[in-house]
Structure 1
Amino acid sequence: MPAWVPEGALHYLAHTELGQPMRELARSAGCHASTIMRQIRRIETRRDDPLVDAALRHLGKFRAAKHCSKEDPPMVQDTPCKVPDEATLEHEALRILPRLCETGAVLAVAADMEKAVVVRDTASGGSTRTAVVDTAVAQAMALKDWIAPTNSGRIIRYFITTAGRNALQRLIGRDRAGKRADRGFAEAQTAFDGPGADWEDGSDPACETRRQRMRYSVAESPLVALSRRRDRSGKPFLTDAQVHAGERLREDFELAQMGSRITQNWQGFLTGGTQAGPGAGAGVPDHARAAQSRVTAALSHLGPGLSDVALRCCCYLEGLETTEKRLGWSARSGKIVLRIALMRLRRHYDETIGPGGPMIG
């Protein structure tokens, strides 16, 4: 069985699928039989959740397919097993769980659909899609109690649980530790580790150039928080189209980081430049190279200043107050510049990709 399957689910499948007695399972696990009984009862009560029920059914088929022999009927041998492995689940969790941490975000799952979508409420009262995930991965998340349903019916909405938030923190810490081990740097717990995570800041003339670190918030992006604000007339400060443009830039930026560690050097845009760093695109998959090209074109279209605030706030998820201090701007001026950048970014996407575009999932 995959390593991500909870112990309680393993005991439940062993008892219901293989008929193993609870006392035998307790001796193997080194615990009391009542503990096994509570685990089995808890899993049984959770089968009302369609994702949990489907996950258990697929795990049962997975076990049967793994232990089938040539003498078994062809139907048993050819049973499709929609069970993700440990690496796939962790990779998708790092992509989906941060989206579910955003305010008003839920995972919507429809019956008999192979994909689930993450949607988030917008300031205008509508909703926008921010991510798409395979239903098999959503089933694994539900079985691990990372997500929980809020309703019943044909379309069920799931929110992230406390266990899901804790799991996300562990996965982020493990991912950062692995990247730093590969790069040979000592581990730091709170810094964002990615291309452009370090940049030179010469704002203090009395001191030598210092190394700064980007911060990464898993709660929500500054763009989402700013979209909930309203102006004096009561209208949202950012329109849905502007938020969508910023999310499109962020999605391209995340896609550009996948594949190889030798990726685009984004520091040039933080200092007003527009040139790619050394080794940009070398050894990068086609989808990541295409995403790099789209990000580079978008930031080049914005130009110095606007590209800086868009990269910091939309991609690196740096707060507006921090951006204003690092750029030497006056207080509360960053949101105005960011809105101008998003207006130009939206126009750029409309001219190059078309209104709406194929991005976001």
Structure 2
Amino acid sequence: MRRLPEWVDAAVSRYLVHTEMGVSIRQIARAGECHASTVLRQVRKLETRRDDLLVDQALIRLSIQISQHKSNIRYKETRQMAEKQVQDDLPDTQTLANEGRRILRRLCENGAVLAIAADMEKAVVVRDLPDGGSTRTAVVDRPIAQAMALQDWIACKTEGRISRYCITATGRTALNRLMAEDENKAQGFAETQAVFADAHLGEGLEAGPSRRPMRFNMADSPLSALARRRDRSGNPFLAPDLVSAGERLREDFELAQMGGRANKSWDKFLAGHDRDTYRPDPGLNDGAKAAQGRVAEALQELGEGLSDVALRCCCMLEGLETAEKRLGWSARSGKIVLRIALIRLSEYYRSQAGGAGRMIG
């Protein structure tokens, strides 16, 4: 029998002990020093939640972790299908926290949903655009999505061949807690300074011991905020194709970090050094290498100045005022430079597609 991840709560543990190991509800209640009716309500609630695809598969994964004989597991799908879908364990606490910050922040954006199909290895976060289209803003490993559903951070909004999930009130509370914990550790309030998988994103962008953690509105990105503004003629300050170009750069940037911690040559590239001689990290998988290469090529096309503001505002989600201060620019100049950078970036992506629009996937 293997230990469950630390983030699994007592209700899920009691449910698995009862359904998979055959321990009676009264025995579980005595061990947990609670009333038997409490355990019964928890078991019934989780049994009802198994109608959710992600919750059901998360419980199957946990069942396999604690069961010595897979034949004792009560699969909702056939055994062959279930074993195919649960080859990997659910994430540990630290991985879930890191991914939770990244994904929940994206799901807080207006019109954002997490979409997943039964035969998809990964889920995607997509967001509606003002022109009626949509754009992909993040990619999520299936075990991460299952853990988030089991934690009630996301809930199924639309069932079907492709199920769509939205962030819940519990998910928003969890995001606030995760962001607060991250800031406290960055400012030295925690007893032990933790090292997160995404901590390298800010390295090299600000030298000196006085560097402060980046701040931004978790429910909004700089691009979506600018897209809602109007110019003097009443037109949107950022057209939908410019927002899509920035989101595409952000998507590649996130994919480039999925292979692990970036190497020093990538850090130097982010800091503006050795951009002409940059080579992707050979230790990453092919998808992450390709994503790093696409980011490098796009920023090289923008050149110095334009690439700096695109990197900070599109990829790092820095606010315009913060970016202006760190780059030494005058106030209210950042939005103009960012708009120019997005126009050039949009033209670059169109030229890469031979003049055609971006295809899904």
Paired AA for residue 97 in structure 1: L
Provide the secondary structure at the position in 2 that maps to 1:148: strand
CA contact (8 A) 2:136 2:251 kept: no
TM-score, normalized by length of structure 2? Answer: 0.75
Provide the secondary structure at the position in 1 that maps to 2:126: strand
Paired AA for residue 121 in structure 1: D
| Distance in 2 (alpha carbons) for counterparts of 1:174 and 1:42 | 30
- C-alpha spacing 1:330/1:177, structure 2 compared with 1 (3 Å): closer
| Distance in 1 (alpha carbons) for counterparts of 2:357 and 2:145 | 26
| Distance in 2 (alpha carbons) for counterparts of 1:179 and 1:331 | 27
| Distance in 2 (alpha carbons) for counterparts of 1:231 and 1:280 | 40
Provide the secondary structure at the position in 2 that maps to 1:253: helix
**Residue 239 (structure 1) aligns with:** 239
Counting only pairs closer than 5 Å after superposition, residues 55-74 of structure 1 correspond to structure 2 as: 55-57=58-60, 59-60=62-63, 66-68=68-70
CA contact (8 A) 1:124 1:236 kept: no
1:28 aligns with 2:34: no
**Residue 212 (structure 2) aligns with:** 213
Query: For residues 102-159 of structure 1, what are the alpha-carbon distances to aligned partners after superposition, in whole Å with 9 as ceiling and x for unaligned?
Result: 2321113446655433111212233222233354542332111111233455554322
**What is the percentage of aligned positions where both structures have the same residue?**
54
Provide the secondary structure at the position in 2 that maps to 1:150: strand
- C-alpha spacing 1:286/1:353, structure 2 compared with 1 (3 Å): farther
**Residue 151 (structure 2) aligns with:** 144
**Residue 41 (structure 1) aligns with:** 44
CA contact (8 A) 1:122 1:227 kept: no
Paired AA for residue 15 in structure 1: H
Provide the secondary structure at the position in 1 that maps to 2:264: coil
**Residue 85 (structure 1) aligns with:** 90
TM-score, normalized by length of structure 1? Answer: 0.75
Paired AA for residue 235 in structure 1: N
| Distance in 2 (alpha carbons) for counterparts of 1:97 and 1:137 | 11
| Distance in 1 (alpha carbons) for counterparts of 2:278 and 2:143 | 37
Counting only pairs closer than 5 Å after superposition, residues 168-183 of structure 1 correspond to structure 2 as: 168=175
Pick one of 167, 187, 205 that aligns with 1:160: 167
CA contact (8 A) 1:223 1:313 kept: yes
- C-alpha spacing 1:296/1:39, structure 2 compared with 1 (3 Å): same
**Residue 309 (structure 1) aligns with:** 309
* Count of equivalent residues: 340
The alignment's C-alpha RMSD in Å is 4.1
- C-alpha spacing 1:147/1:170, structure 2 compared with 1 (3 Å): same
Counting only pairs closer than 5 Å after superposition, residues 124-143 of structure 1 correspond to structure 2 as: 124-143=131-150
Provide the secondary structure at the position in 2 that maps to 1:31: coil
CA contact (8 A) 2:269 2:275 kept: yes
Query: For residues 225-252 of structure 1, what are the alpha-carbon distances to aligned partners after superposition, in whole Å with 9 as ceiling and x for unaligned?
Result: 2223233444332223222221222233
CA contact (8 A) 2:64 2:70 kept: no
CA contact (8 A) 2:138 2:251 kept: no
Higher CA-based Rg: 1
1:262 aligns with 2:268: no
Cα offset for 1:310? 0.9
Cα offset for 1:332? 3.0
- C-alpha spacing 1:317/1:37, structure 2 compared with 1 (3 Å): same
Query: For residues 6-42 of structure 1, what are the alpha-carbon distances to aligned partners after superposition, in whole Å with 9 as ceiling and x for unaligned?
Result: 3212322333444432111112223222321221232
**Residue 229 (structure 1) aligns with:** 229
Paired AA for residue 67 in structure 1: H
Paired AA for residue 107 in structure 1: L
**After the TM superposition, which of the residue ranges 146-155 and 294-303 deviates more from structure 2?**
146-155
CA contact (8 A) 2:115 2:165 kept: yes
